[in-house]
Chain A
Amino acid sequence: MKLGFRYGVGAVILAVVVAAYFSGSVRWTQLVINGLWFALLGAAWNIQAGIAGVLGLGNALFIAVGAYTSIYFYNTYGISPWIGMWIGAGISMVIGVLVALPCLRAGLRGITYVFATFASSQILLFWLLDQRWLGGAGGIRLERIDHSPINFRFTTNEPYLLLISAMLAAVMFFTIFIQDRRWGLYMRAIRENEKSAAMSGIPVLRYQLIAVALSALFTSIAGSFYAQFQMSVSPSAVLSLTMALNTIIFTVVGGIGFVFGPVVGAFGLIALSEIALHLSGTSADFASIRMLIYGASIIAIALFLPGGLMSLFDPRRSKDES
């Protein structure tokens, strides 16, 4: 049943993507790309937080590195974003490990680790504001718009929709693949109990760092996609607290640790937000009503469904079930 449900959720998401693809509507494709992008961020965060239990709040840092790197290398050296995104991913993995290593080794867990990793993304924010070669507060934009698949540059939204779908699918397949293999089992054992995991012979710190590096890799790729799709990036756009929290809210609402959690959360909340927008029309205070509905739903889920939406269909995983 669990597997059947997975297929069901996958089919619904696929249907939405296909519908958007053939809708010919810029607004719809944009919206679905946005949803898939946040789902990708969530899926990447899910690997470190949901599977390995390393609760970091610094992933916006990797979005920024991926975004800046792909644009900077394209502008300065004419390197295709297809290559630039991997350079960014490499840098992100190194930074991710360099930040996580001392924090985890010093025993930071829970809220202290959250603060430490969030601080690392804020350090990058303030550093970027002073870097004139990276455009300072204004950020950088693509200097040459040269439409070509080689340059990651398309005239319409549809190819971007396909690309982001493929990226999300790849990360989700990867997550499913490792789930009951050595890496996934080790990470889940560490999430459940570090002491017991160590006594089973698992090098705890090493696998925590692998989880962080994987998370950094996929988040950085998502960052490069963002930059190429938007054709620009600025420090405040990607390194805000909102950006960091959105990823987590989408994942937690959908179901942390579930492969489909991030995508269900992202699509669910974005759909809700759109419906609220529609209902409130264009009245003067529509923005506040929209946020009110949005906020109330998140609180309701946190209170009544702490395992997230996915736990509705897979009660086996819910914590209260024991």
Chain B
Amino acid sequence: MTLLEVEGLTKSFGGIKAMQDVSFSVDEGQILGVIGPNGAGKTTLFNLITGFLAPDRGVVKLAGQSITGLRPDLIARRGLARTFQISEPMNALTVEEAVRISAYCRSGINRREAFTVAAEVMERVGLLDNSKKLTSSLTAAEIHRLEFARALAAGPRMILLDELAAGLWPEEQAELVRLVTEASRRDGIAFLIVEHKLSFLQSVADSSIVINFGQKIAEGPPAEVLRNSEVEKAYLGSKE
């Protein structure tokens, strides 16, 4: 069943067309990769979907209902969680506090339930031993896991991952693949993943779309899409 529908999304900044008529959809539990060179409009796409930017034209629907132009916190409460590219830290909070904050955003949850949810999520991503630590004292890999934990704790139907595998060692990356796959297969959470590490995308994504200059130029399984000549030109153009 279709969970996220993006139709004709368009956004300009001054004279620059950052997003032109982009359409795609993501099914429940599906993992869709977004591929594209720097400045292609991937983060703009995320900001448009999550309400940090309002589109000039186009519609974003979650489970059949339009979320276009809603405030970010209201979109989050409808089940769309997000991690940030430059992870936006909460330095003076402990790990468990940061995760509890997300858990509290589930509707009708009380304090004890929020604490239980946070503990479960921290155990799942392997942060339980660090739960009392300040987030500012975590390593880069732990911060990435915390970002994932915070997204998971909100009880989302879909998670948008922005460059979450960046700067990770291969074994840390493999752990992230396991966590994402598990969340998708077991909990039916859909993923939209922006990632430069194509190896990561290839091992996790069911399908992918390619964006360049704000336009969708290809769609299909990552391995297939990357063989496409237009994609190669966009991505590796400098080699010519």
Question: Contact flags (1/0) for B77-97 with A, using CB distance below 8 Å?
Answer: 100011010001111110001
Q: Is the interface of A mostly helix, strand, loop or mixed?
A: helix
Question: Contact flags (1/0) for B81-124 with A, using CB distance below 8 Å?
Answer: 11010001111110001101110110000010010000000000
In the bound complex, what is the Cα–Cα distance between A202 and B102 (angstroms)? 9
Which of B68-76, B195-203, B215-223 participates in binding chain A?
A: B68-76
Q: Is A199 a contact partner of B90 (Cβ separation < 8 A)?
A: no
Which of A64-72, A190-198, A280-288 participates in binding chain B?
A: A190-198
Q: Is A199 a contact partner of B136 (Cβ separation < 8 A)?
A: no
Q: Is A193 a contact partner of B89 (Cβ separation < 8 A)?
A: yes
* Given A185-B97, A198-B71, A198-B73, residue A322 in contact with residue B104 (CB < 8 A): no
Question: Contact flags (1/0) for A195-216 with B, using CB distance below 8 Å?
Answer: 1111111111000000000000
In the bound complex, what is the Cα–Cα distance between A203 and B52 (angstroms)? 13
User: Which of B88, B91, B93, B101 is A195 in contact with, Cβ under 8 Å?
Assistant: B88
Question: Contact flags (1/0) for B118-141 with A, using CB distance below 8 Å?
Answer: 000000000000000010110000
Q: How far is the CB of A259 from chain B (nearest CB, A)?
A: 14
Q: Please tell me the size bucket of the interface on B.
A: 20 to 34
Residues on A with C-beta less than 8 A from B137 are 321-322
User: Which of B76, B88, B114 is A201 in contact with, Cβ under 8 Å?
Assistant: B76
Q: Is B91 a contact partner of A192 (Cβ separation < 8 A)?
A: yes
**Chain A residues within 8 Å of chain B by Cβ, number:** 26
B42 at the interface (CB under 8 A from A): no
* Given A316-B134, A321-B136, A322-B136, residue A200 in contact with residue B93 (CB < 8 A): no
Q: How far is the CB of B108 from chain A (nearest CB, A)?
A: 12
Q: Is B50 a contact partner of A186 (Cβ separation < 8 A)?
A: no
Q: Which residues of chain B have a CB within 8 Å of any CB of chain A?
A: 50, 52, 71-74, 76-77, 81-82, 84, 88-93, 97-98, 100-102, 104-105, 111, 114, 134, 136-137, 150, 154
Q: Which residues of chain A have a CB within 8 Å of any CB of chain B?
A: 180-182, 185-186, 188-189, 191-193, 195-204, 257, 316-317, 319, 321-322
